[in-house]
Amino acid sequence: MSLSDALDIVRITDVGLLRDHNEDAIASDDAIGLVILADGMGGYKAGEVASEIAVLSIAAELKEALLDFQPGYEPVISGKQPEARLIVDAVSNANAAIYNVSQNYPNCAGMGTTLVLGLFVNNKLLVGHIGDSRMYRLRNQSLVQITEDHSLLQEQIKAGLITLEQAKFSANKNLVTRALGIDPEVELELNEFDVEVGDVYLLCSDGLSDLVDDVDIQSTLNANSSNMLWAAETLVQMANDNGGRDNISVILVKIKNLFDYKCTWYDNFLGWLR
């Protein structure tokens, strides 16, 4: 079974009500099970340069690498699917590309971007993220955030300095502690999750998560689980109804069928040679 048969993917991005251009970038490729979202930051229009570089370069590199990839061998990153190394390398190369542009073009100085991506492989989901763009999972009608923000606000919450309720009104909401392209190297947080048929995964920029409470996201996804496009459009509209202060990007992925590896005799033969 191809991943196109297993995944229902929709994506939408909106400039919001107050910005004059969109610094978010999104992409998906159901043939390889990839979804990716970046929220740029920097000087005038430099943020959209950073996010576009991130999304286009990572998507292109992963697609090319996966075309020749032979699954079924020991993972290079312990405890994770072997494709994890491909993600780490692609993100590292994107970071270098953004950093080099920011160093050589004054208009792009200091630019960077958040990143959240998912790669669906072998009934698993590999999730990589940097910054405060998020991924959620809806399972059995319950919504759970499966990424943890790399932000000053999250550090304050973990340290017990503020409560979750106080965090909603904090002036530090958009201060990230980690971003792609700011420094010569960056640490990608990479985790792996089992998937189940019926799961819905949401990737979003903070233009959604800052303006729409998790409980309202959950109820919207539950009410529209049979129509992912309508669910995505509704979430964007809710963010705009609540002020639309930032660009709003949403990617939804619904698991329709499982997708495990099918090892052939040739794969087994290659494994024996190794």
Q: In the predicted model, is pLDDT for residue 270 greater than 50? A: no
Number of structural domains, the chain? 1
Residue showing tokens 């993220």: 129
Q: In the predicted model, is pLDDT for residue 202 greater than 90? A: yes
Model's pTM, two decimal places?
0.91
Residue 98: how many other CB atoms lie within 10 Å: 30
Return the closest-CA partner of residue 137 out of 59, 254, 50.
Answer: 254
HSE toward the beta carbon, residue 15, CA cutoff 13 A: 8
Residue 273: how many other CB atoms lie within 10 Å: 6
Whole-number pLDDT of residue 264: 47
Q: What range defines the domain where residue 63 resides?
A: 3-273
Token pair listed for 137? 């999972």
Query: Rounded mean pLDDT of 75-84?
Result: 81
User: What does the DSSP 8-state code read for residue 72?
Assistant: S
> Where do the DSSP E strands lie in the chain?
7-14, 24-29, 34-41, 112-113, 115-121, 124-130, 134-139, 142-145, 189-194, 200-204, 248-255
Token pair listed for 211? 């303006």
Residue showing tokens 């999104």: 26
| All residues at 6 or more sequence positions from 163 whose CB lies less than 8 Å from its CB, including other chains | 157
Q: List the 7-14 sheet strands across, edge first.
A: 7-14, 248-255, 200-204, 134-139, 142-145
pLDDT digits (tens, 9 = 90+) for 143-153: 999 999 997 77
Contact 69, 61 (CB under 8 A): no
pLDDT digits (tens, 9 = 90+) for 92-142: 999 999 999 999 999 999 999 999 999 999 999 999 999 999 999 999 999
Q: What is the CATH number of the domain that holds 109?
A: 3.60.40.10
Whole-number pLDDT of residue 175: 79
pLDDT digits (tens, 9 = 90+) for 208-256: 999 999 999 999 999 999 999 999 999 999 999 999 999 999 999 999 9
pLDDT digits (tens, 9 = 90+) for 39-73: 999 877 899 999 999 999 999 999 999 988 876 55
